[in-house]
Amino acid sequence: MKTIAFFNSKGGVGGTALVYHLAWMLSDMGFSILAVDLDPQANLSAMFLDEDRLEEFWPVAASEETLLGPVRPLFEGKGGIGEPYVERIDDVGLLVGDLALSGFEDELSRQWPRCLDGDERAFRVIGAFHEIVRKAVVAREAELALIDVGPNLGAVNRAALIASQRVVVPLGPDPFSLKGLRDLGPALRGWRRGWAERLDRRPEDFDPPAGEMEPMGYVVVRHPIRLDRPVKAFEKWMSRIPGTYREALLGTEPEPNMSVGSDPHCLATLGSYGSLMLMAREARKPMFHLKPADGAIGSHVNAVSRCYWDFKRLAEKIAKSCGLAMPE
């Protein structure tokens, strides 16, 4: 099972839109993709599904078809993990998020130290997201799972990251993203060490996630430059990203004169693409699928093309890094 989490402890950097568009692009390229919404705000699900369909997933009573449905009995101490429902949007599989997910933050926090005592249920609770993703990958026959998580360093995200082999960090060229990056590095290393320590005490019949959380690289999402924000300030924060990434995520010294454009850890630098995102949300499709009928006319046509090639190059890079063979 190949899994990538997209995570920055600072919100608003475009991580959910990044997962959404990559899932579509990789699917367009012929890969079987599972998108996993482990953000308690369920923004990824809201991008994929219209309001009527979301309402069906989020009734007044607890839903059985979101990703929380199969693990709720385990979290509540009433049973094990059931089989997940995978929503199909064209050729993309989606594990639908659940707004009630944040309600299990305390339970995940309580079970984390109990793993050190070899408590079997504690291990199953912490590994529940890994197990539900694994089941969905098997059901979907997915080659790659892309996991969207919320912007915090809480217990839900710790369990989500433990279920991830690799981590991609979306960044904006601003001081808040860099602060999130500096917070993220020590957290990932601490979670990795903590889980490795707990694995030595796991029950014999428990098949745990390895908890690699290997940094895969970062993606810079360019926000529009406002009139009150000069280009010089924008470039200042861009220039600090390579060194901060090395120090915070890799624990290595910055390389002199390294820029985002020459940094091998930079997977892509994405544009803002003008008003395409608003059109895409209205049309409920990725930006690079927009047509004249959706309003993509005039200068928008070039923006659609630029967006397509930006995401195509990024998707190819990710597929290659994960060892996925290009479909014929």
pLDDT value of residue 127: 95
CA angle at residue 93 from 67 to 275, to 5 degrees?
A: 100
Please choose, from the candidates 132, 123, 121, 131, the residue with its C-alpha nearest in 3D space to the C-alpha of residue 97.
Answer: 132
Closest C-alpha among 54, 96, 45, 102 to residue 75: 102
pLDDT at 95 > cutoff 80: yes
Domains of the chain by residue range = 3-218, 273-322
Query: Quick one: how far is CA 257 from the chain centroid?
Result: 30
**Residue 60: its pLDDT value, please?**
66
CA dist., res. 224 & res. 163, Å (int)? 34
Order across the sheet with 214-221: list the strands: 87-89, 92-95, 33-38, 144-149, 3-6, 166-171, 214-221, 266-270
Please, what's the b/e burial string for 9-28 (b: 16 or more CB within 10 A of its CB; e: otherwise)? Answer: bbbbbbbbbbbbbbbbbbbb
Amino acid at 250: L
Look-up: residue for tokens 């997933």? 57
Q: What is the CATH number of domain 3-218?
A: 3.40.50.300
Mean pLDDT within 155-161:
96
Q: What is the mean pLDDT of residues 2-12?
A: 88
Mean of the per-residue pLDDT values of the chain: 91
Decide: helix, strand or coil at residue 187: helix
At a CB cut-off of 8 Å and minimum separation 6, what does 200 contact? none
Tokens found for residue 74:
């385990």
Q: Measured between alpha carbons, how far is 20 from 3 in angstroms, rounded to an integer?
A: 15
What is the rounded distance in angstroms from the CA atom of residue 308 to the CA atom of residue 302? 10
- Given a contact cutoff of 8 angstroms between Cβ atoms, the answer to whether 111 and 122 are in contact is yes
> Whole-angstrom Cα distance, residue 19 to residue 160?
15
| pLDDT mean over 295-301 | 90
Which DSSP state fits 247?
A: I
* Residue 300, pLDDT above cutoff 80: yes
pLDDT in tens, 35-64: 999 999 999 999 999 999 999 998 866 778
pLDDT in tens, 104-123: 999 999 999 999 999 999 99
For residue 293, the model assigns a pLDDT of: 94
The pLDDT of residue 230 is 43
What pTM was estimated for this model as a whole?
A: 0.94
Largest Cα separation within the chain, whole Å, is 64
